[in-house]
Amino acid sequence: MPASPEPPTGILPATAENIRRAADAVRAGELVVIPTETVYGVAARADSPAALARLYAAKGRDESKRMALFADGIGSVRAAGVRVDEIAERLAAAFWPGPLTMVLETATGGWNGFRVPDHPVALAWLRELRGVVPAVTSANRSGEPPAPTAQEAWAALAPHVSLALDAGPVAGGVPSTVVKVGPEGVEILRAGVLSGEAIAKAAGCPVKG
């Protein structure tokens, strides 16, 4: 019987050592693939223009389209200088960690999207980043289907990423729901796993979109 083909050298099992390696790579300005509970994502440090440019190039994505930032909890979002009101608090309590991206107003008047992924590997990787905030988007070329496995993510983005953490197939396959939370209430910007009804119930207010 012929031997099974070896996996590409850039796809690594999601051990503690390799999770630290992936965090070190992002701190150094490289791109890495990580699992989430919905799809595999590709990440870069958000405070590095060069790393973000590589991320947009890897995706083939219009640079006018913002990318979500990942955090390990609501405390990290506040520490990033974001205004977290009562509605955002309720949504975070209901759906974080989980497939909800909240677009929130920053202290400077801008807007950033934040998500806390419900995946042990992603959360461990975020803790290893030690305060470095990553931008994360689905690990596929823009317009192509999202990747449910590390192998598919690697095949789509391998020329651009330094490594991919393999935690097996993810169960979701549907991206997170994106909502904007502001003075005018909650608006769904992108449909996803969570329904408008569930979001409205948790927020305690009507939801647009």
pLDDT computed for residue 175 by the predictor: 82
> For a pLDDT cut of 90, what percent of the chain falls above it?
81
Q: How confident is the model at residue 6 (pLDDT cuts 50, 70, 90)?
A: low
pLDDT tens-digit readout, 44-64: 999 999 999 999 999 999 988
Give the residue among 133, 145, 168 at the shortest CA–CA distance from 34. Answer: 168
Distance of CA 14 to the CA centre of its chain: 17
The tokens describing 122, both together, are: 């992603």
Judged on CB neighbours under 10 Å (0-12, 13-18, 19+), 100 is: buried
Single-letter residue type at 178: V
DSSP string, 146-208: PPSSHHHHHHHHTTT-SEEEE----S--SPPEEEEEETTEEEEEE--SS-HHHHHHHHTS-EE
The topology (CATH level 3) of 8-72+116-173 is DHBP synthase (3.90.870)
Task: Say yes or no to pLDDT of 3 above 60.
Answer: no
Q: At what angle do helices 196-203 and 86-95 cross, to 10 degrees?
A: 120
Helix (H, G, I), strand (E, B), or coil: what is residue 15? Answer: coil
Query: What residues have CB less than 8 Å from 202, skipping those under 6 apart?
Result: 90, 91, 93, 94, 95
pLDDT tens-digit readout, 78-95: 988 898 999 999 999 999
pLDDT computed for residue 1 by the predictor: 47
Task: Say yes or no to pLDDT of 2 above 70.
Answer: no
Domain boundaries, the chain: 8-72+116-173, 83-108+176-209
Cα–Cα distances in Å, from 135 out to 21, 26, 116, 182, 185? 17, 10, 12, 21, 25
pLDDT computed for residue 204 by the predictor: 94
Single-letter residue type at 64: S
| Residue 43 · residue 179 · CB < 8 Å | no
